[in-house]
Amino acid sequence: MLVIIPLFLIIQPGCKPRQLVRPTPQMDTASRYWIRVLLLNNVTDCTLKIDSPFNVTTPNSYTPVSTVEAGFNSLEEPVKIELSAGRITIASRSFTERELTVYPSEQHIFSLNSNEYRGKLELIINPDGESFDAVNHVPLEPYLAGVIGAEIPVYWEPEVLKAQAIAARTYCLYIKKRFGKNRNWDVAKTQANQVYLGVKAESVQVWNAVNDTYGQVLTCKHPNGSEDIFPTYYSSVCGGHTENSKNVFGDSFEPLVGVECPYCKDVAKLTLFFWPMAQFDKNTVTNRLFRRYPQLKKLGQITSIEPSEQSNYGKFSRLTKVKLVGSTGKTDFLRAEDLRLTIDPTGRRLQSTICRIAKWDDKWAFLAGRGWGHGVGMCQCGAQGMARQGKTAEQILAYYYPGSRIKTVY
Ligand SMILES: [Zn+2]
């Protein structure tokens, strides 16, 4: 017999509708597959909200052997985390330890300064005792779920999302291995590494791409003969040819030598593919260069920026090294990509180093620009172009990282 239950018995009046949240996978995975993301740097306070009971544990640890210092009930409203007199206080409870881990139960989700993240939150007082860093410890797959939707549009072809998932998974494991052991975190949450927005960047499409490529990374032959992961750089629009990593980041790997890319032109907006002239005041340029590279001060006011090395691709070329001449007559050299991001740290006006440099009264003008980003590795718009033509994630990755292989590591 069919019993119809009145709706008001199922949904209690006054109950807040609770969004269905996907539980955080991989919470019991080995620590080598966790990523530490720097969320806040040198702060003295922040806010925390957690919809489930949580523990504060010490020491910093991925494993259950850590000691529970305090248990908390779920928080109805955000509470303050503050540092004062060298101690961290969470919701008015003070702790003497220099490092604390906030470990949410159930969905394993916490909200820091109103942004939701998965995994755990580590709070580390800096050596001067004046500020602390907030670091998100998150397993690799939920980390990727917070990256892919921030890096490319989720409505793009599923094969591009999968290619992006494999490239992003490989890249962060490589950065962790290369730099993580010397610091309290592995990756920044900005474009300096990969843009990570946490739960709000997640979607069904992104989770599908993450799950369909679960544990897959790219490897290549290293100079010592071993087969291992490599820095799978990627950028938005290569402008027609990807660049050799040696000329931009100084590292040499077979899959990163650069390939012709006929695909991104039809995908990128015309004003992104061919960017408008960008002008910067000469004094601003000199000052920004001095701040970032104090050794350039000996040159005096920068009076000339000349191409020193470039990669020629027929119709266009990418500047890879520039010669700087100063008012003292002294000269120095910079990688063109370093010059670009020093002059325009956002990279939104001076979009790439496929351009010409000209003097324009009291300004430097960057003309005839093509592409967006450093141009090394996978071209994201190009990958979308390939997928539209029916290419698979494997084919896209094989094209932009020639000589690489897909390997499943867990
Ligand atoms: Zn391209």
Between the CA of 177 and the centroid of ligand 1 the distance, in Å, is 28
Give the tokens for residue 88: 């961290």
pTM of the model: 0.89
Between the CA of 347 and the centroid of ligand 1 the distance, in Å, is 17
Which long-range CB contacts under 8 A does 129-133 form with residues at least 24 apart?
129/86, 130/44, 130/83, 131/42, 131/43, 131/44, 131/83, 132/42, 132/43, 132/44, 132/83, 132/88, 133/38, 133/40, 133/41, 133/42, 133/43, 133/184, 133/185
Which residue positions in the chain have pLDDT lower than 70?
1-20, 59-66
Between the CA of 263 and the centroid of ligand 1 the distance, in Å, is 6
Confidence at residue 69, expressed as pLDDT on a 0 to 100 scale: 81
d(CA 134, CA 112): 9
DSSP classification of residue 31: G
Indicate the residue type of 80: K
Between the CA of 283 and the centroid of ligand 1 the distance, in Å, is 34
HSE (side-chain half, CA atoms, 13 Å) at 168? 34
Between the CA of 262 and the centroid of ligand 1 the distance, in Å, is 6
Between the CA of 235 and the centroid of ligand 1 the distance, in Å, is 9
Confidence at residue 242, expressed as pLDDT on a 0 to 100 scale: 98
d(CA 257, CA 250): 12
Between the CA of 226 and the centroid of ligand 1 the distance, in Å, is 30
Confidence at residue 205, expressed as pLDDT on a 0 to 100 scale: 95
Between the CA of 265 and the centroid of ligand 1 the distance, in Å, is 7
Ordered alpha helix ranges (H), 146-269: 148-151, 158-179, 204-212, 245-248
Confidence at residue 190, expressed as pLDDT on a 0 to 100 scale: 81
Confidence at residue 26, expressed as pLDDT on a 0 to 100 scale: 87
Between the CA of 237 and the centroid of ligand 1 the distance, in Å, is 5
